Amino acid sequence: MKKLLALIMVSMLLLTACSSGASNSTEPEGGSDSNQITIWAWDPKFNIKAIELAKEAYASENPDLKVNVIENAQDDIVQKLNTSLSSGTTKGLPNIVLIEDYRAKSFLQAYPDMFQPLTGSFETEDFVQYKVEATSVDGENYGLPFDTGVTGLYVRTDYLTEAGFSIEDLQNIDWKEYIEIGKKVKEATGKRLLTIDPNELGILRTMIQSAGKWYVKEDGTTPDLANNEALKLSFEIYKELVDNDLMNFHSDWNQFLATFNGGEVATVTTGNWITPSIKAEASQSGKWAVVPHPSLPGMKSVNASNLGGASWYILDVPGKENAVDFLTKTFGSNVDLYQKLVTEIGVIGTYIPATEGEAYKTEDEFFGGQSIISDFSKWAEEIPQVNYGMHTYAIEDILIVAMQNYLGGQDLDKVLEDAQQQAETQIK
Amino acid sequence: MIPATTKQNIQPKPRKYNNKFRLKNGLIGWAFISIATVMICLFYFYPMVQALILSFQSGAGTNLQFVGLDNYLRLFTDPAFIAALKNTVIYLIIQVPVMIIFALFISVLLNNKKLKLKGFFRTAIFLPCITSLVAYSVVFKYLFATDGIINKMLINVSLISEPIQWLTDPFWAKVTIIIAITWRWTGYNMIFYLSALQNVDHSIYEAAKIDGANAFQQFFKITIPMLKPIILFTSITSTIGTLQLFDEVMNITKGGPGNATITISQYIYNLSFKYTPDFGYAATVSYAIVIMIVVFSIIQFKVAGDKNA
């Protein structure tokens, strides 16, 4: 009886082994056919549209390559990459994947040898420098820079006029001046200055990057919180905005849009990718303008920063040669494509030669005739480069708690000291 | 009397046949359960053992190294884990008793023989349980938004003058989560009580009435003791459910503001997918949940002290 039982067991094990073995031998998606590549990206109105334009541009010269574009939510892409790569299988993974800049190094360093280096495949000098830094590890380029998250200060000119300010008063201001203006605007119009999701410290990231600082030191691994003057000042500014009741709180994206579309706030400080959402409220046409991002007062800081942005990465799976060719011939060198990206979607790339094109100089009636695209690309080149490292979101979660404690009345030095300690134990 | 001899007479003959039959019978039985057994081992025990091994490793992504008990020691000094644990305990000691008392109360009301439209009320109260976790969380998020319907209602009836920051204030965010899970799960527990109440012999109540017991006495002296095993069962499942709480918090507050509502399950998710993945430490945190569930269950069994449960 036992023999039979054992036999059954063994045969079943073999069966399962065979079936899994069989599926393992199948080629990765897109690799089975040498003339086919697969691309993953999120946001059908932005990234997917961009890749479709690139596909068109590429197809006119290389009609043989079949490009499959698959849309996934960003969270899903992150999860799929993590689970597949950590199990050591590349089955089902695409050839090209879009990764957010803040997360890129986490993937590149956590899964070494899984990504295809691109060093030498494209001219890095042609791209905005902070972007090149964000996509490289140990001097090796892994990503082809895509959109920039260059920030600007979107302001309601009608509210400003009501408070007695003109647009010239807001050019190249620092955060202290910004707060002073905000107080007067609130007095005159009753509108708060800006809106923030307390669960996300994007505003802090833009503040410290404008001073060339980040949550970690240049090596990308040592937490830089306790003795980071830029961060300390940013915390103080954040608290001042809260204490003066200049900050409105929202808890998700839709509330965020509703706040400025409904005219509840006088300014929006975020990445340029918000432009389509601001323009969505057509009745506010002509009432908006974009001025340079505020700088940190009293230290080396520029009136330009970055929030978000992503780049294209190639996985080390069959078909990578085609993928490299596709990327370098489109996003890597095609000036015309970048013009289309601007006019049809509003994507501001980081390819410097493209900024000379006509599309970049278009004046936008919604913003009172301002050429916002060329302004943004000008600021993009000024963004200080920092090493984002692998742990942006882990450290940010620590800082969100620290911010709560600080707003609750604790001493700033102690709060940051605690955060530093916690980050050091968590990050290895 | 008679069997003693007859037994001896009949038995020797069929023994061989009997054994063979039993063997065959046994084999068939084994064959049936072997599939399930193999499946359970493959998909249940094997991953559990692997996760245990994983919980002794640490590192980013695939760069895992054995670190011995470091991960387990790290739990005790990890503020995020402690915050998650604290929140879970708060949910546990406030939400579970509230929900169970509520469910008991409703089930007793609905068990009233004189009540009309019983079916309608039962359906209405049970209905939340068949809604998707994500869908109802999203709805709650909008209800409790700063400019949401709850705030508008409270302002209109002049209970408050300023909108309550249901989602962005550390205290109110917890309240929101507790209200949400209570809404979702009360009906579920109510069904258990209701079915148990229908098994309680009505004559006990009649006897109590004749002896002059009022409604309160009936409830505390008859209903509660009769439902004890079910109360124990529901409190254990609710405890386990609270320890595994994820969807609501993820969708309503994302754990914020500043870890004020984060749960252990969400922390595991963050460690694996939000941050640079440290699957080793994430596995350690999941084993912490396993240990806690076992401990809580033992305590509840001991406190209730009932062998039937």
Average pLDDT along chain B: 86
Over residues B29-45, the mean pLDDT reads 91
Cβ contact, residue pair B74, A428, below 8 Å:
no
Residue length of chain B: 309
Provide the strand spans (E) within A11-135: 36-41, 66-71, 96-100
- Among the partner-chain residues A88, A251, A390, the one whose CB lies closest to the CB of B168 is A251
Nearest to A416 by CA among A408, B93, A401: A401
Q: Where in chain B is the domain with CATH 1.10.3720.10?
A: 73-304
> What is the percent of chain B with per-residue pLDDT over 90, rounded to a whole number?
38
Query: How many beta-carbon pairs below 8 A join chains A and B?
Result: 116
pTM: 0.81
Q: Which pLDDT does position B6 carry in this prediction?
A: 46
Residues 6+ apart with CB under 8 A from A272: A148, A149, A150, A151, A152, A348, A372, A376
| SS3 of residue B58 by DSSP | strand
Residue range B155-207, pLDDT digits in tens: 999 888 888 888 888 899 999 999 999 999 999 999 999 999 988 888 888 89
**Which CATH fold would you assign to the domain A151-305+390-426?**
D-Maltodextrin-Binding Protein; domain 2 (3.40.190)
Nearest to A188 by CA among A207, A160, A149: A160
Q: Which pLDDT does position B13 carry in this prediction?
A: 53
Is it the case that residue B306 has pLDDT exceeding 60?
A: no
| SS3 of residue A115 by DSSP | strand
| Helix boundaries (H) for B132-223 | 133-143, 149-156, 170-199, 202-210, 215-218
Task: Please answer whether residues A407 and A230 qualify as being in contact, where contact means their C-beta atoms are separated by less than 8 angstroms.
Answer: no
Provide the strand spans (E) within A192-322: 194-196, 247-249, 267-271, 288-291, 310-314
Q: Which pLDDT does position A379 carry in this prediction?
A: 93
Q: Which pLDDT does position A23 carry in this prediction?
A: 41
- What is the CB neighbour count within 10 angstroms for residue A86? 18
Residue whose structure tokens are 């002896």: B211
- Give chain A positions within 8 Å (CB) of B38: 9, 12-13
> d(Cα A360, Cα A354) in Å, to the nearest integer?
8
Helix (H) or strand (E) holding A23: helix A2-24
- Among the partner-chain residues A258, A394, A404, the one whose CB lies closest to the CB of B275 is A394
**A36-149+309-357: which CATH architecture?**
3-Layer(aba) Sandwich (3.40)
Task: Please answer whether residues A179 and A240 qualify as being in contact, where contact means their C-beta atoms are separated by less than 8 angstroms.
Answer: yes
Q: Which pLDDT does position A25 carry in this prediction?
A: 37
Would you call A168 exposed, middle or buried from its count of C-beta atoms within 10 A (0-12, 13-18, 19+)?
exposed
Residue range B227-252, pLDDT digits in tens: 888 998 898 888 888 888 999 999 99
Residues 6+ apart with CB under 8 A from A142: A104, A108, A115, A116, A117, A118, A135, A136, A313
Structure tokens at A281: 């409220």
What angle do helix axes A392-407 and A101-110 make, rounded to 10 degrees?
130
Q: Where in chain A is the domain with CATH 3.40.190.10?
A: 36-149+309-357, 151-305+390-426
Structure tokens at B106: 């409703």
What angle do helix axes A175-189 and A229-243 make, rounded to 10 degrees?
10
Q: Which pLDDT does position A266 carry in this prediction?
A: 94
Q: Which amino acid is at A165?
A: F
- Give chain A positions within 8 Å (CB) of B58: 428
**B73-304: which CATH architecture?**
Orthogonal Bundle (1.10)
Q: Considering only alpha carbons, which residue of chain B is nearest residue A88?
A: B62
Cβ contact, residue pair B23, A1, below 8 Å:
yes
Q: Which pLDDT does position B267 carry in this prediction?
A: 92
- Among the partner-chain residues B59, B147, B276, the one whose CB lies closest to the CB of A106 is B276
Cβ contact, residue pair B273, A428, below 8 Å:
no
Tell which A residues from 215 to 274 touch B, by Cβ distance under 8 Å: 249-252, 255, 258
Q: Does A410 touch chain B (CB under 8 A)?
A: no
Residue range B163-176, pLDDT digits in tens: 888 888 889 999 99
| Mutation choice for A interface testing from B174, B276, B279 by most A CBs within 10 A | B276
C-alpha dist (Å) from residue B125 to B105, B118, B227: 12, 11, 20
Task: Please give chain A's pLDDT, 428 residues, in tens.
Answer: 556 556 565 555 555 444 444 444 334 444 445 788 999 999 888 899 999 999 999 998 888 889 999 999 888 999 999 888 888 888 889 999 999 999 999 899 888 888 999 988 888 889 988 888 889 988 889 999 998 999 999 999 999 999 999 999 999 999 999 999 999 999 999 999 999 988 889 999 999 999 999 999 988 889 999 999 999 999 999 999 999 999 998 888 888 999 999 999 999 999 998 998 899 899 999 999 999 999 999 899 999 999 989 999 999 988 889 999 999 999 998 889 999 888 888 888 889 888 888 888 888 899 999 999 989 989 988 999 899 988 899 999 899 989 989 998 999 999 999 999 989 888 76
Task: Please answer whether residues A237 and A421 qualify as being in contact, where contact means their C-beta atoms are separated by less than 8 angstroms.
Answer: no
